[in-house]
Amino acid sequence: MRPKSNHSRSGGGRHPETEHLTAPSVVPGTARAAFLTAFHRSFHRSFLTAFLAILLPAWHGSLARAAEPVKLGLVLPYSSVYATLGNDITKGLELALGEADNRVAGREFVVLKQDSQVNPKVGLQIATRFIRSDKVDFLIGPVASHVAMAMRKAAHDSKTFMIIPNAGADPLTREQCSPYIFRTSFSNWQPYYPMGSWMAGPEGLRRVSLLAPNYAAGKQALSAFKESFIPAGGQVVSEQYPDLKETDYQPYLSRLAQEDTQAVFVFFAGSSAVKFVLQYKQAGLDKRFPLYASGFLVESSVLQAQGEAALGIKTSMHWADTMDNPANRRFVESYRKKFGGEHPSIYAMQGYDTGKVLLQALRKTGGNTSDKAALRKALETAEIDSPRGPFRFSGSHNPIQNIYVLQVVKGGHLGVENRIIGTAAENLEDPGTGCKM
């Protein structure tokens, strides 16, 4: 005879299904059986109590976490010389997150934005506030190398993941690399090193004059160019470093006009790029010395303002809006649809990839941002079908990517466009020198 069940449906908060699975296994009739019945009941009761005591808070915790948003703190320039860059990165990121309905693994994204003003002190202040007061899960930014260097310690010391959607500061994926710092754009070395050999090789140039803004990115860019140009037989005629916020390049162009040079190689971006190209043309130097640069000089956000003054300029870059692959066609089309027909720039593409990498990593961790080791691994192993081609990180958290040679030719929606005319380097990985993690 089965004992009358004394299982209370309300007592102890036990789960009816659990009780149903355990009770029928007990057969009474002897003292031993009675003892065993009592033992089993008590064992099951305390086992269940312990089981639930452990699991319920975790379950509630994960529910609470599921409801908590993933906070992104954007430290980007929305003013000054790189304002367009900051705005375009933000739009690219918004496009990627929007494609996922602005949520991942049940958590919504909350995006906080602050203007870094291309100023290292301001960038650090914002990053510190985002980390300490807003408790962001990720810092996204910045655009400029010197701002990135200023923010590095705050991100690293607080173990806050910082995903850099532009700033190329070499040390951040070399000797000052960090388990918490990832870059979805490029290192400053990447577009310049292959261009030095390209200019000395296929372009057959021997004497070249160099110009770049006077700050970390400008110095690193020209140094990487020289690293391959000089050993290939090239000679640097002059190096000039105007202020980052310079608007009048006349004195620098006058000096170039006096030089016995064959070509000019520069790095300028944002509003500086527009001004430099227009003033170069106005000074008539385009007829004497062909202009070469990294792709930032004539990418799509500045090309409209430069128009035909940019014709013929050759640059090196890891993407062009005219790239003919399915991921790029999809990206360009969705961006134009979302932003009123506006064409995406290189910065928009990098913002988009930042969003894609984030989404993939967070899907892998089930939305968990507190297990830093798991999140780091998920980021490190991210592989996306980027508009620039297949994307993955190097061991020092910098993209491994092709560097193309582009030329501004007539065509496209603006009347001028960047066309790929060669590949300067395939699957180029920054040397990552001195990175220990």
Distance separating alpha carbons of residues 241 and 244, to the nearest angstrom: 8
- Name the minimum Å distance from CB 120 to ligand BEZ: 11
Burial (CB count within 10 angstroms: exposed 0-12, middle 13-18, buried 19+), residue 311: middle
The answer for residues whose C-beta is within 8 angstroms of residue 165's C-beta and 6 or more apart is: 76, 89, 92, 93, 140, 141, 143, 184, 185, 347, 350, 351, 353, 354
Among the listed residues 168, 171, 196, 351, the single contact to ligand BEZ using CB under 6 A: 168
How many of the chain's residues bind ligand BEZ (CB under 6 A)? 12
- Name the minimum Å distance from CB 169 to ligand BEZ: 6
- Three-state secondary-structure class, residue 129: helix
Residue nearest to ligand BEZ (CB): 217
DSSP 320-339: -TT--SHHHHHHHHHHHHHT
Among the listed residues 95, 163, 167, 408, the single contact to ligand BEZ using CB under 6 A: 167
The single-letter DSSP state of residue 393 is B
Q: Cα–Cα–Cα angle for 404, 409, 413, nearest 5°?
A: 105
Name which of 168 and 242 has its Cβ closer to ligand BEZ: 168
Interactions with ligand BEZ, residue window 83-142 (CB under 6 A): none
- Name the minimum Å distance from CB 249 to ligand BEZ: 17
Among 280, 313, 322, CA closest to 294: 313
Among the listed residues 84, 114, 116, 145, the single contact to ligand BEZ using CB under 6 A: 145
Burial (CB count within 10 angstroms: exposed 0-12, middle 13-18, buried 19+), residue 35: exposed
- Three-state secondary-structure class, residue 155: helix
Name which of 95 and 147 has its Cβ closer to ligand BEZ: 147
Name which of 168 and 234 has its Cβ closer to ligand BEZ: 168
Query: Which one of 151-159, 164-172, 196-204, 329-337 is the stretch in contact with ligand BEZ (CB under 6 A)?
Result: 164-172
Name which of 109 and 347 has its Cβ closer to ligand BEZ: 347
- Name the minimum Å distance from CB 384 to ligand BEZ: 21
The answer for residues whose C-beta is within 8 angstroms of residue 179's C-beta and 6 or more apart is: 372, 376, 437
- Name the minimum Å distance from CB 214 to ligand BEZ: 12
193 is a contact residue toward ligand BEZ (CB under 6 A)? no
For the record, the structure tokens of 309 come out as 């003054």
Q: Tell me, residue by residue from 259 to 278, as one string, x for binding to ligand BEZ by CB under 6 A and - for no binding.
A: ----------x---------
Distance separating alpha carbons of residues 414 and 410, to the nearest angstrom: 9
| CA distances (Å), origin 109, targets 22, 71, 122, 130, 355 | 44, 6, 24, 15, 11
Report yes or no: 265 and 294 within 8 Å, Cβ to Cβ. Answer: no
Among the listed residues 126, 143, 253, 357, the single contact to ligand BEZ using CB under 6 A: 143
- Name the minimum Å distance from CB 165 to ligand BEZ: 11
Name which of 119 and 365 has its Cβ closer to ligand BEZ: 119
Among the listed residues 296, 319, 335, 352, the single contact to ligand BEZ using CB under 6 A: 296
Q: Which residues bind ligand BEZ (CB under 6 A)?
A: 82, 143-145, 166-169, 188, 217, 269, 296
